[in-house]
Chain A
């Protein structure tokens, strides 16, 4: 079984995003970039499926600038077999990303795509569902547990209020939620080995996909700041303050 894992290079999880003074976007100059945490979980899951003998090949794909090669090398160091970079200096919207991935899927014919449910920059939570729609494949989003079998996958999904389990026919799109697994750290020998694994680069423009944005960013602003609070000394003070504030 062949597994395709799309991964995205984003601002590091521990870095606080800062809005540019000219309101044109978020300042990413000299900011630490890493693999999107949900993508890491997806790579880990694909590699575990291979270690279990269910998956036979894990292919990582990233769409982004030349530096996204580093993100792909991370996926290779975690255990992916080979990688494909779809290079573009644009920042395509989820719909365009889904279309680019569809073009790669037409070439690669994976049995299943495992990807993060959301990227922590745009916070859209849309690409996986869109890709499933474009391919007319079933989707199992927000996966908490995955059992892959020949021709189908049983997926426990995190939903409001609990867990829903569905069975999807393969090929399918599965998106990873936080508690699907805990991604490994790549070991030094594996990081070295990853440097020798194949990484192909394609220009996004060669895939015949319209990357023009549908949404124009008018401005990016800072959220309103909360007014400064006070420290209280005792629980009784706290209750008095809450009564005064009218929330008890």
Chain B
């Protein structure tokens, strides 16, 4: 069988989610190709060609693909599917947008956000905000799968696959891209960061969130996350949200500050290697998943933590 991985990228650089999805794909088959659908994305295709284990890289380019429109990506992928038994996409907001569309066009079920490949037909995926793991066996002739990238190790470099241009399909005639406002940040990306510092409702305001969380994140070289409560209250932008319906992270170290630990938040971070919780309520559910808990008001605890990190040479 042959497997197609749809690359995660921003037309300029290839994202690590792609390497992790290649690892999942290699568990299905040794014949793994990568599709880069974008515009001006030759550099991305060249980077994908270096991923160890990749057989071939396909490059499809058009304006609508560069804007990531779901109809356009679907139209580019469908003609290729004659040659593949499965298509795997990282479960980013982009992948979640187009992958079910491809599945429905192929008249197959989507297997969403897999965290484990048992065999070529059998997969494990979280349901109910991660409170249960479902093992499903697919009877569909072709598999359309989204991959929770944090559950797989990134495939390394060392490949030298050929890059081949393919047709871009017929675009997205019924959808017009208007604009995009992306937050520019010098910090690591939330889902790929080794350390994540998240703030919750206890921050009380956007100013306080920035004053407390951001310097600590910068000191640790960490990405910044937030609970849904903090995002809903406007203390942090929506793309900071960690949880069932936000981003799922699994860093080496997750620091939760002033977060009580609703099940929907835990769903997004409980696979982190080490979890630290700072909360003045010693009964907060976050302490049930924390490896190290500090029951204290963040207002005194965070400055003390900054000092202790400085003393430790950080």
Contact = CB atoms under 8 A, between A and B. Distances in A.
Please determine whether chains A and B interact with each other in the same assembly: yes
- Interface class of chain A by DSSP: mixed
Contacts of B92: 160
A116 B21 CA distance: 27
A162 B244 contact: no
B201 interface: no
Contact of B293 (A128, A179, A227, A232): A232
A39 interface: no
Nearest to A130: B104
A54 interface: no
Contact of A94 (B100, B122, B131, B311): B100
A129 B70 contact: yes
The size class of the interface chain B forms with chain A is 35 or more
Contacts of B228: 178
A177 B246 CA distance: 10
Contacts of A17: 127-129, 131-132
Interface string A68-103: 000000000000000000000000011100100000
Contact of B131 (A16, A169, A213): A16
B248 to A, nearest CB: 11
B174 A172 contact: yes
A165 interface: yes
Contacts, number: 265
B96 A125 contact: yes
Given A220-B134, A234-B304, A248 B312 contact: yes
Contact of B244 (A123, A140, A242): A123
The size class of the interface chain A forms with chain B is 35 or more
A106 interface: no
B103 interface: yes
Interface in B56-71: 68-71
A190 interface: no
A196 interface: no
Contacts of A134: 104
